[in-house]
Each structure stands twice: as structure tokens, then as C-alpha cells.
Chains A and B, each alone.
Chain A
Amino acid sequence: MNITEEEVLRVADLARLELKKDAVLRLCRQIGEVLGYIELLNQADTTQVLPTSHAIVLTNVLREDKVGTHLNRELALSNAPEKDEGNFIVPKIIKT
């Protein structure tokens, strides 16, 4: 199956990835091969077959509505690349 450079770039952008030119060509070929192989699925008769998203049957897993022990703010922020006064810092998103 063929996947075009534009498609690879579009999907990469959806996934928030920035690809180098030579990577795009390589990915077109490799992903095309994998998608070509995946087309095999079309030979399986799945009329009336329900999809499985989870191998073990579990329904409505609930827990008691009780406050437990949780990470405190300092620990939760301990790996943040940039933080200030208990907040995560991101690049500015509002234009002034």
C-alpha cells in the first residue's frame, strides 16, 4: 500500500512530530510496507463479530468515594522541566 509524503507529514503533525526530509522518505516506504501487510485483515470475515477492546470481562470498576494518600504538589512537580510557584510553566500562548 502506498502512503504519500503529504500523508506522512499530515499524520506526523497530528502526532506532534516534526520529521526531517530524509526521514519522510524512509517512513513512506516502511509504513507503506506495514500498512500493506495489515491489508491482510480484509480477508477475515468479521460480519456480526463484536470488537474486543479488553481481553478480560470487567464492567464498571468503581472504588469507594474516599480520600486517599496522593502525591503532594512538590513531588508532582519534581520532574517538571520548568515550574514556578507550584505551577507548570509553558511557552506563552496568548499573543500580546
Chain B
Amino acid sequence: MSLYPLSIYEAGKLLQKKEISSQELTRSVLNRIFALEERVGSYITIAEEKALEQAKQADYRIAKGEITPLTGIPIAVKDLICTQGIRTTCASRILEDFVPPYDATVIRKLKEAGAVILGKLNMDEFAMGSSTEYSAFKITRNPWDLSRTPGGSSGGAAAAVCADMCLGALGSDTGGSIRQPASHCGAVGMKPTYGRVSRFGLVAFASSLDQIGPITKCVRDNALLMNEIAGHDPSDSTSAFEDVPDFCRTLDSGLNGIVFGVPKEYQFLEGLDPDVSDAVAKAIRTIESLGARCIEISLPHTAYAVAAYYVIAPSEASSNLARYDGVKYGLRDRDETDLRLMYNRTRSKGFGVEVQRRIIIGTYCLSAGYYDAFYKKASQVRTLIADDFKRAFERCHVILSPVAPTPAFRIGEKAEDPLTMYLSDVFTLSANLAGIPGISIPCGFSREGLPIGVQLMGNHFQEELLYRAAHQFETATEFHLKKPEI
């Protein structure tokens, strides 16, 4: 029996019954990675030796009866989450050789639970992009169609989960970077409430929007990973003091009495692919057949969301990325003997085109004389968008929408057209602006056979309800069971 296709939940059961060992499981997944990596391109670093050592340790723990749902489970991590002793590059030349001296809190928690870290996954440089094409090292291909992108920025994570090159993965989401690639690859991706998961050790892109979350093969796996990584962390002053429930507890509860809101503004947005709107319309009917009620709601400031986001995110990024100066860590232009020129040369050599573009947009928006017109205005619009959601959640429990306007696009199709790429984030980035959780789950396939996802958003800290709704939908459908032939 091949072990790599297992879900986290299935593998956990077999490990517990001692029918398989973590070493067998980890070896099977590593072999799968070596067989497919050249075609898919998910990994920047494969930590084979360390992973096998962790698997051995996990087997000891299991033999002693110390098992958690993640003990011995091979997980992969987006390459912007710090892993002690394993290179963390952010898919950037500027951090090509950076080996973190500490673990991110989420990594510490995974290790404490006994998980096995397989390696580090490809992404758009510093998570800026929607296609993983802006990685400085390689492109990642969509396992459903190798001529297409897996989405981004957590494209390596979604592609690896989809192609069984890990059992589950951690990604990060600043404007849709977990949900959109999960949708394009037929995986399940959760962006938790802002503050739900510690950002300590997550390389910052836009600090008020970034969240770490799981990408998995099914909803239950996603909830299992969230159970381990969520919770307050004194090392992250923005992490929430909210209690963390068992996210699996109510998965099997039905949807009677739950009200789903469908934003009317999302239905007629320009560029929405008919296959996507058909799949989402069918998802609404499925939800209704499960006993829930669907109503039309309004998010009147939707039209301004992309514009507000593309002021706020680049502004925060330009400030966060000021730390890459060639002094403390990372790349340095060694030929330059003047400090100021050393900064300029180092940063121009180290950052790719999209990162430089966003730094310049952000610096412009924050520069003297422009601050009120751009940053302040966008932050006010952010309030209006958050208020839209607040009002919507007075009428419904869950908001249902598309994830991305189209299925996965072709490699190269949008790379030279940043504005079009930005506009494809329209359904996802509002959740980051408002700080609410959102999950993407498979809800159909396009005529060309590409996966399509539907997004469920909840009020702050309502992940448990989202998992329940997503699990009920998943149980009633079979989209998540279909695998690409690769």
C-alpha cells in the first residue's frame, strides 16, 4: 500500500494502531517528492535527513504511547516561516542563505506535537503575488495542468498538498494567499481570524493583514492542524487572548438553522468566469439541501476593497522590508565601500521586480504630502469595509462567495500585468482587511477539468462554525476526492 495519499486523519489512525510507522510514512512521502519535484516544483528546500530523524523520534514517542493527532505526520511549511537550522528564503535572493537561529511559534508547536517537517515550500517572493511566478528560484506548476500556475502566494504549499507531496502544509495569507491557491489546486485552505495564530517567526509582509493557516487534503485535517497552531503567544503582541476550542468538536453537527449570506455585489463583478459562478450557484443549492438557509446580503463598499488593499499592503511592506540592509543578515553587495550605496545596491540586487514595485508604491503612498490622500484614506475605507461585514453578520452566520474569479490561469498570462493580477484578489482580500476568517473548499470543476473553490467567511473567531459548515458540505460532495493524474 502506498502511504503518501493518506490524509492526516487516516495516517494518524494507522500510526495509533501501529499498523504503519512514521518512518515508513515519511519515506513514502519523500519518495513521492523526489518522483514529482522536477515536474511540480513545490519545494525550495527538502529537509530529508532532519525529517527522517524526526520520524524516528516520533516512532519512539508512539511506542511509549505518547501520541497526538500530529505525531509522526509529515508536514511541509511555506518558506517564510522560520525553521531553526533549515534555510528560510522567502523565495528571495536577499535571504537565499538565511538560516534562522530560532523556530517560529507555529513550528515549535508542530515539533512539540511530534510532527515531521519535510521541508520548505515555494511561494511568490515575500508572499507578494497570486501565481508563485515571482519566486526568485523556480516556478511551481499546477498538478491539474502543468501549463498553469497553482495560484499564490502559497502555491508551493497548495501544489504539494494536491500532489500528495506532503500530508498537510502551513501557508500564510495576506490578501488570499492561502485560499486562492487552495482553490486552484482543489485543496482546503483556512485563513484564520487575525490574531488567532501567532505570527512570531513569520517573515512580515503586511503586519496588520498577515496570518498563518493550514492547507490540507480535507476539512478535518485542516481543523486538526489548527488545533495545534492556534492560541495566544506572548511573543506576538498582536495575538488574541481568545480561548481556542477543539475545532473538530462540532464537525458532524448539521446545518439546520444556519443562515448563509450571499453578497449581491460579488455576483456581477466584471471578469467572473461562468464556470466559477455555476459551481458557486450549485454550492448554494447543496448548502440549502443540507438544511441551511441562504439569503442575499450586501457588502456595499466591495468596489473599494482592492484599491484600499493595494495602498495598505504595499505601505506596510515598504516599512517591513526596510530591515533588509545587508548588515544584520541576508545578501550584501560586498564591492561597495560607501554605506549608502551598499544599501541601494544590496536591495536592488536582492529584491525581485514585484517586490521592488510594491516597495516603491508603498513608499510613495507614505511619503511626505501623500500620506493623507493614500494611506489615511485607505485606512478609513478599511473601516467602512469592516463595518459592512459587521452589519452582514447581524443577518447571517456565514458568508458564501467565490474564492477567485477564474480557475487557475496559464503560466506567464498575467506576470507582466500587475494590475490585472491584483484585481484577481477581489473576493479574498476583504477578509484580511476586516480581520475575519475565511476557508476555501473544493466545490466543482471547470469545463477544462480545473478545480474551483468556494469561500466561507465567518465573524471574528468563528473558525469552528466555518469548519463545521465546510465539513458538512464536503461530506455531501465528492470534489475533494478527485485527484489529478500526474
**A interface residues (Cβ-Cβ under 8 A, vs B):** 3, 7-8, 11-19, 23, 27, 30-31, 33-35, 37-44, 46, 49-56, 58, 61, 63, 71, 75-76, 78-82, 88, 90-93
- Are B195 and A56 closer than 8 Å at their CB atoms? yes
Q: Is B328 an interface residue (CB 8 A)?
A: yes
Inside 8 A of A40's CB, which chain B residues have their CB?
Answer: 303-304, 307
Known contacts A18-B345, A35-B361, A40-B303, A90 near B327 by CB under 8 Å: yes
Whether B329 pairs with A79 at a CB distance below 8 angstroms is: yes
What number of B residues sit within 8 Å (CB to CB) of A? 73
**Which B residues lie within 8 Å of A79 (CB)?**
97-99, 101, 328-330
Write 16 A-B pairs (CB below 8 A) sorted by A numbering.
A16-B347, A17-B344, A18-B341, A30-B418, A31-B357, A34-B361, A34-B422, A37-B306, A38-B378, A41-B311, A46-B384, A49-B383, A51-B382, A52-B433, A63-B237, A81-B334
CB distance B332 to A81 under 8 Å?
Answer: yes
A91 B101 Cβ-Cβ under 8 A: no
Instruction: Give the contacting residue for B360; candidates A12, A56, A80, A82; CB below 8 A.
Output: A12
Cβ-defined contact, B327 with A44, below 8 A: no
- Beyond A14-B367, A17-B348, list 20 extra A-B contacts (CB 8 Å): A11-B364, A12-B356, A12-B363, A15-B360, A17-B356, A18-B348, A27-B356, A31-B364, A34-B422, A41-B304, A44-B381, A49-B383, A52-B380, A53-B379, A55-B194, A79-B99, A81-B326, A82-B332, A91-B342, A92-B337
Contacts A54-B238, A55-B433, A71-B101 given: A88-B381 contact, CB under 8 Å? no
A86 to chain B, nearest CB (A): 14
Residues of A within 8 A of B337 (CB): 91-92
Q: Are B308 and A41 in contact (CB under 8 A)?
A: yes
Contact B304 A56 (CB under 8 A): no
CB distance from B232 to the nearest CB of A (A): 11
Best-buried of A3, A11, A19, A52 by chain B (most CB within 10 Å): A52
B360 proximity list for chain A (CB < 8 A): 8, 11-12, 15, 17, 27, 31
Contact between chains at A44 and B328 (CB < 8 Å): no
B50 to chain A, nearest CB (A): 18
Give 4 nearest A-B pairs by CB, closest first.
A55-B435, A51-B379, A79-B329, A81-B332
Q: Tell me if A56 and B193 are in contact (CB < 8 A).
A: yes
Evaluate contact between B344 and A16: CB separation under 8 angstroms.
yes
Q: Which residues of B contact A16 (CB under 8 A)?
A: 322, 325, 340, 343-344, 347
Give the distance in Å from the alpha carbon of A58 to the alpha carbon of B244 in the complex: 18
For residue B34, CB closer than 8 A to chain A, the reply is: no
Contact count A vs B, C-beta below 8 Å: 176
With beta carbons under 8 angstroms apart, the residue of A3, A12, A27, A81 that contacts B331 is A81
Contact with A along B287-310 (1 / 0, CB 8 A): 000000000000001011011101
Interface string of B83-112 (1 = CB under 8 A from A): 000000000000001110110000000000
Residues of B contacting A44 in the complex (Cβ-Cβ under 8 angstroms): 301, 304, 377, 380-381, 384
Q: What is the minimal beta-carbon distance from A44 to any residue of chain B, in angstroms?
A: 5
Chain A residue with the shortest CB-CB distance to B368: A14
Given A56-B435, A80-B329, A91-B336: A11 and B345 within 8 A (CB)?
Answer: no
Minimum Cβ distance to chain A for residue B166 (Å): 27
Q: Select which of A18, A56, A80 is within 8 A of B460 by beta carbon.
A: A56
A82 / chain B contacts, CB cutoff of 8 Å: 332, 334
Q: Check B379–A18 contact: CB distance below 8 A.
A: no
